[in-house]
Chains A and B, each alone.
Chain A
């Protein structure tokens, strides 16, 4: 299932946030959107999710304009995994995942046995079946993120949008969540994440999109985008990119530190 964004522009009042954004993500692709704070990453997601309908341009799923979908239909195409979820009241993990099945039940219906089984299967798939009766709000940030991924799987949509999935997680949980996302893209899900970690996007994603001031300044393979020149330009910071393990990994380091060691500029 491919997703294509074509000439998308968006303004809040007179302030233009996104300028003529175009890109395409194929089935099974893991795409990272990098960019400084305020670059328009969240706005881009909100446009794709139909939360900001007043954009110009198109968002196409397998060639179909997402604007023609109802909320229910759209939720079967694109699943959103927010940074965190804070329901007003406390729910069990299973109930949270069941909410992903809302698009199966009618407006006046409740989720049924089948939906419950699908939700349990989604939890098992992520490896957190044991959490099903726990209270969602009492879980750690990493566990909550995994539950939200399970909810997206229960939603059964081929495109997954993760909004800074590792932003508030400890290092171990960051790896856990990214491994899961990687695994899902290998299974055929189209995965798009926004992130502030260039190194992680190099390691885990198939492509990187660099967004600055609402414009795409680079779109390509991680080895093409994660360069000293581009990182300097993107973040307006004196940063050096160091290649490790035959370029299997790249690390960003503040440039003055590299200068002191004299290793590389």
Chain B
């Protein structure tokens, strides 16, 4: 069992590495693989004579590399948060936006665009509103009576709806000439404008969120037996849920801030990964993160190569992912667990 799971993790890592190398050559401006390796090696400080053009160097270093890194980071974050939420909410249908992180971030971004903010301002608005929304949901749910998890999820759905309506209102009053298309495009989710500044914005909060999610992965197994039973096994279900929500929101809000709303990944990548390595979070959490990274990297490559302007990745994730997932649960990909 364990050997198999370790092997799958290693294969996923290899696929990710190959995916990264291939990604540099994909796009409207082809760069030969040896030039890619040369440019990266030179940037890493190795003494190598340039045998490539300055345009190639710009394409690889300033455009493709940040985009590759960002797509992997966003994919890892959404899948990790989704997997963790499915555990602490004891619900396979949970996804990272269940507590309103995406709806809040979308509202924050739309508001920032309406106020004419810079791209840094839009990112900050999205991140801030994403965090605040989930905080609000948590506070409201504490006053909810009855089942704690249900109270939290219902509060999340209601407050998400409020922010979505708010976003619709902002679109209504936005200038249809430039602001409205910008808001609409942002909400669709895209990595086409990815730059080093985006990577710099997201990298710290994401790493701060990934580490605890990885460290708490055994407790995530235990909480799926239900709060009461989990408590008799020696954990604090409510405290664990709070920690997971805080760190998942941190990475989800960062992901949405730099990429817009990319749905689907957080819900389905953990499920595809469950079929590969099983439900034990000791393997599932790292595998989900790699799976999310691989998936978003591949989809972004596709989005880049299909059209010159690039189809927003938020549209493509579902177009490619949903049929694949249906194939997995029904066709040849389906197999009984254990």
Q: Which A residues fall within an 8 A CB radius of B?
A: 46, 49-51, 71-72, 74-76, 78-80, 82, 85-92, 95, 99-100, 102-103, 105, 107-111, 133-135, 138, 155
Contact = CB atoms under 8 A, between A and B. Distances in A.
B323 interface: no
Given A75-B234, A76-B234, A90 B337 contact: yes
Q: Which of A87, A95, A103, A109 gathers most chain B CB within 10 Å? A: A87
A67 B39 CA distance: 63
Interface in B30-45: none
Interface string B143-167: 0000000000000000000000000
A155 B233 contact: yes
Contacts of A102: 218-219, 222, 233-235
Given A71-B235, A80-B232, A108-B215, A89 B274 contact: yes
B91 A88 contact: yes
Interface in B309-338: 337-338
Contact of A91 (B212, B215, B231, B279): B279
B221 A91 contact: yes
Contacts of A89: 86, 92, 224, 274, 279
Q: Which of A51, A89, A100 gathers most chain B CB within 10 Å? A: A89
Contact of A107 (B87, B216, B282): B216
Given A78-B232, A102-B234, A107 B219 contact: yes
The 8 closest A-B pairs by CB, nearest first: A75-B234, A103-B234, A89-B279, A135-B338, A108-B215, A80-B232, A72-B234, A88-B224
Contacts of B236: 71
A86 B226 contact: yes
B120 interface: no
A80 B225 CA distance: 13
A90 B338 contact: yes
Interface of B: 1, 86-87, 90-92, 212, 215-219, 221-222, 224-226, 228-229, 231-236, 274, 278-280, 282, 337-338
A138 B336 CA distance: 11
26 contacts: A46-B228, A50-B232, A51-B232, A71-B232, A72-B234, A76-B234, A79-B232, A80-B229, A85-B226, A87-B224, A87-B226, A88-B92, A88-B224, A89-B86, A89-B92, A89-B224, A89-B279, A90-B338, A91-B280, A92-B280, A92-B338, A99-B221, A100-B233, A107-B235, A108-B212, A155-B234
A87 B278 CA distance: 14
Given A102-B222, A135-B338, A92 B1 contact: yes
A78 B234 CA distance: 10
Given A74-B234, A85-B225, A105 B218 contact: yes
Contacts of A105: 218
B332 to A, nearest CB: 21
A88 B229 CA distance: 13
B287 to A, nearest CB: 14
A88 B219 CA distance: 14
A145 B216 CA distance: 28
Given A71-B231, A76-B234, 10 more contacts: A71-B232, A88-B91, A88-B92, A90-B279, A92-B1, A95-B221, A99-B221, A99-B222, A102-B218, A110-B218
Contacts of A100: 233
Contacts of B233: 75, 99-100, 102-103, 155
